[in-house]
Amino acid sequence: MKILLVEDHQDIAGIIFDFFEIKGYTLDYAQDGVQGYELASHNFYDLIILDIQMPRMDGLTVCQKLREQGDDTPILMLTARDTREDTLAGFDCGADDYLIKPFDLDILAARIQALHRRRSGKNAAKVLTFQELSLDLNTHIAARNGCNFELNPTQFTILKLLMMRSPEIVTKNEIINAIWGEDEPEGDILRSHIYQLRNQVDKPFQHHYIKTLSKIGYQLVSVNN
């Protein structure tokens, strides 16, 4: 299971990381709301653990923005607030569960497993679509006009980001950050990955979906454009 942890208290984050990595989970970490929102928008996660009180963007806003863009990833709120109004506010913005600090790690793990089972039952085959192009988020297989394409992790990340954001433009920096974070390789390697992705999902067909906007980024364009 891949989890995004958004928590500004590094001591708490470290405890959660140690506990779940031993259990075989994969975790990404964001220390503020803006970074958490960017990671959640550009990557696929089985679950998001989201603190409410954070710098730059609070957890309620992060949750609401993700729900508004159609992201249905299960979200478990962590907070020191324990009033009825705070709990209801978390659910009103789209959270799936709510855990008050301090919490028992075994209880947190049980809540995560319950949310994951619930999602697996409802979304056994979550698929993104753009006209005749589809992308299975579980198998990483793209399909177009009856042809299937098995994507490598980088191609999958690029296409997922383009499909989630279409018809908006995705900048080069956004794609680079989603793939490599701060460890961007030297040279214009992104162009090579875009070329390989085009060879799979565009080249065999008359209409090309992936459009380059020079020095800006990329977007998916429909047949009618």
Over the stretch 136-191, which tens digit does the pLDDT of each residue have?
887 889 999 989 998 988 899 899 889 988 888 888 888 887 788 767 777 788 99
Please give the pLDDT value at position 84.
64
Please give the pLDDT value at position 180.
80
Mean pLDDT of 25-31: 91
Mean pLDDT of 41-62: 88
Instruction: Say yes or no: domain 127-220 is CATH 3.40.47.10.
Output: no
For residues 217 and 190, is the Cβ–Cβ distance under 8 A? Answer: no
Structure tokens given for 157 = 């990340």
State which fold the 2-122 domain adopts. Answer: Rossmann fold (3.40.50)
21-25, 43-47, 89-93 — most confident range: 21-25
pLDDT at residue 123 is higher than 60: no
Structure confidence at residue 134 as a pLDDT band (50, 70, 90): very high
For residues 90 and 77, is the Cβ–Cβ distance under 8 A? Answer: yes
pLDDT at residue 225 is higher than 60: no
Tell whether omega for the bond before 153 is within 30 degrees of 0, i.e. cis: no
- Identify the sign of the CA torsion 159, 163, 164, 170: positive
Structure tokens given for 14 = 């470290």
Please give the pLDDT value at position 215.
85
Mean pLDDT of 81-88: 66
Which residue in the block uniquely carries the two structure tokens 């009103």? 92
2-122 shares its CATH topology with 127-220: no
Domain ranges within the chain, ordered by starting residue: 2-122, 127-220
**What are the strands, taking DSSP E only, across the chain?**
2-6, 26-30, 47-51, 75-79, 97-100, 127-130, 133-136, 141-144, 147-150, 170-171, 210-213, 217-220
Contacts of 41 (CB under 8 A, 6+ apart): 66, 69, 71, 164
Of 7-16, 72-81, 156-165, which gets the smallest average pLDDT?
A: 72-81
Over the Cα atoms of the chain, what is R_g?
19
φ/ψ of residue 198, rounded to 5: -60, -40
